[in-house]
Amino acid sequence: MNRYTYRNKLAVVTGASSGIWKAYANELAAQGCHVVLAARSKDKLDSMAREINRQYGVQTYALACDLSKANAPRQLAEQISELGLSVTTQALALTAVSRK
């Protein structure tokens, strides 16, 4: 049993235009959570944001961002700030991947 309530909270969902993260964003919205959708495809995000807002009545924001770029997290944070929102993180993890 989940005791955490998502109603009127705000979640930033990256990779939200498809797959599991799209489903996750929809589930959060279904539980009353406002969502910031971030992914590379602005057109997909805009369509998705309209649908989520229509279906669940939550505030939904669509931000285009390619998180494979080094400065993308900073740009995403700036875009969120421009909306008048603030993001607080509990933890930050950086992972390096190398190929042989």
Asked if the model's pLDDT at residue 78 lies above 80, the reply is yes
pTM recorded for the entire structure: 0.80
Question: Which three-class secondary structure state does DSSP give residue 70?
Answer: coil
Has residue 41 got a pLDDT over 70? Answer: yes
DSSP helix/strand/coil, 66? coil
Burial environment of residue 20 by CB neighbours within 10 A (0 to 12, 13 to 18, 19 or more): exposed
Question: For residue 86, what pLDDT is reported?
Answer: 75
What average pLDDT score do residues 38-49 get?
94
Work out the mean pLDDT of the chain and round it to a whole number: 85
* Span 47-75, pLDDT tens digits: 999 999 999 999 999 999 998 898 888 88
Closest CA to 56 of 95, 93, 30, 28: 30
Confidence at 77, pLDDT banded by 50, 70, 90: confident
* Residue 53 and residue 59 in contact, taking contact as beta carbons nearer than 8 Å: yes
**pLDDT given for residue 93 in this prediction:** 45
